[in-house]
Amino acid sequence: MVEGLTFASRFDKVTGSAIREIFKYLAKPGMISFAGGNPSLAALPDEICAELAHDVLKADGKRILQYGATEGYPPFVESLRDYLTQQYDFDWELNGLLPTTGSTSCMDLVCKALLNPGDAVLVESPTFLGNMQTLNLYQAKLIPVESDEGGVMLDKLEEAIQQHHPKLFYVIPSFQNPSGRTLAADRRKPIAELAAKYGFLVMEDDPYRDLRYTGEHLPTIKSYDKTGHVAYMGSFSKIISPGMRVGYLVAEKDILRKCTIGKQGTDLHTPNLNQAIVDQFLRRGLLAPHIESIIPAYKEKMELMLKELDSFPAGTKYTVPEGGLFIWVEMPETFNATEVFQEAVENNVAYVPGTHFYPYGGHHNTFRLNFSNSTPEQIKEGMEKLRKLFEKHM
């Protein structure tokens, strides 16, 4: 470190995202990776985006290249609002809408608006490690709340609320990362009600919602919010492109205003070009057919991976998601997926050890599998490798 300088205390417990570190192994030639959360390359609409980028710069290039409003590129704010109004039941009297630089930036801005060091934040157990890192950078006190097949357990949630008086509850309701589970329909309204009753904010992070392969869409937690106690974080990363970094926040107007002021000091505004491209996806009606076109291959890959898991060693449990990108695997207690990871990588196959998804580690018998970013052949080959490796370690 540079002489005389010390890092801010917010970094005391933060060493970098484990997944981003694991990514370094994945560059190895021949590696089959079930580790990332990447969309399939085939699902990325490069031809369409090339055309849209060209068109928007031709049609509105001066405005797109000039400074934009922190509040968003006006045509996109309009089309996004229309799109959300068609899809969801958001109350636009109570709430506002802010385009963000990916939904990671929603997380950052809501934390910036609300969290003081030491504030309690409830999270599902397990939960998305990237956003745990964001929470840790705000020096939140993370309180894991137990989940079952229907997502977070309401009695455990209320118990944690009463004990810890949280500022936030961070929850991924659809095809959760990492567990693949969906929050049960009958737990959604009670969560909104608990937030209003106890005075905390639910951060509903819903990037996978449109990647549903079976069953019906459930109402968002936000749709039950009448008092501003739920913030909804949306993203186009999984349904158009993660490299584009376009997400959005729907939140009560005072909260949104603070997030907007925070954003002035973070990136000033989300790049206009990226908002304009997504705007055209919405205006030209390209999004729904694009989502429809990518779902069959994702569904097929998920089913294939589930089938492969069928013949894993006795005692292997796994979730059967209705959508999303992940399957969660729980091995017998004696198995250590964290230790075996290194050997898996040497065998050219990668996953994410489940321990990274728990605020206080442990749970070494669990791991997360991603199926979207591998071919069916890679899924067969990689799962075969894992099965053999795991059998050896049972």
How far is CA 31 from each of CA 212, 318, 379, 382, 384, rounded to the nearest angstrom?
A: 28, 23, 12, 9, 14
Is the bond preceding residue 178 a cis peptide, omega within 30 degrees?
Answer: yes
* Nearer residue to a copy of itself within complex by CB, 9 or 334: 9
Question: Shortest Cβ distance from residue 26 to a copy of itself (Å)?
Answer: 11
CA–CA dist 50, 282 (Å, integer) = 16
* Nearer residue to a copy of itself within complex by CB, 37 or 353: 37
* Nearer residue to a copy of itself within complex by CB, 147 or 270: 270
CA–CA dist 201, 231 (Å, integer) = 7
* Nearer residue to a copy of itself within complex by CB, 182 or 270: 270
Question: Shortest Cβ distance from residue 168 to a copy of itself (Å)?
Answer: 9
Reduced DSSP (H G I as helix, E B as strand, rest coil) percent helix, strand, coil of the chain, to 5: 45, 15, 40
Question: Shortest Cβ distance from residue 330 to a copy of itself (Å)?
Answer: 27
CA–CA dist 39, 298 (Å, integer) = 9
In 3-state terms, what secondary structure has residue 235?
Answer: strand
Annotate 49-79 with DSSP letters as a single string: HHHHHHHHHHHHHHHHHS---TT--HHHHHH
* Nearer residue to a copy of itself within complex by CB, 67 or 360: 67
Which residue type is seen at 113? A
At 328, list the tokens: 């969660």
In 3-state terms, what secondary structure has residue 239?
Answer: coil
Question: Shortest Cβ distance from residue 44 to a copy of itself (Å)?
Answer: 4
* Nearer residue to a copy of itself within complex by CB, 164 or 258: 258
Question: Shortest Cβ distance from residue 374 to a copy of itself (Å)?
Answer: 14
CA–CA dist 334, 365 (Å, integer) = 7
* Nearer residue to a copy of itself within complex by CB, 266 or 378: 266
Question: Shortest Cβ distance from residue 348 to a copy of itself (Å)?
Answer: 20
Question: Shortest Cβ distance from residue 235 to a copy of itself (Å)?
Answer: 11
Pairing state of beta strands 141-148 and 352-353? unpaired
CA–CA dist 103, 249 (Å, integer) = 8
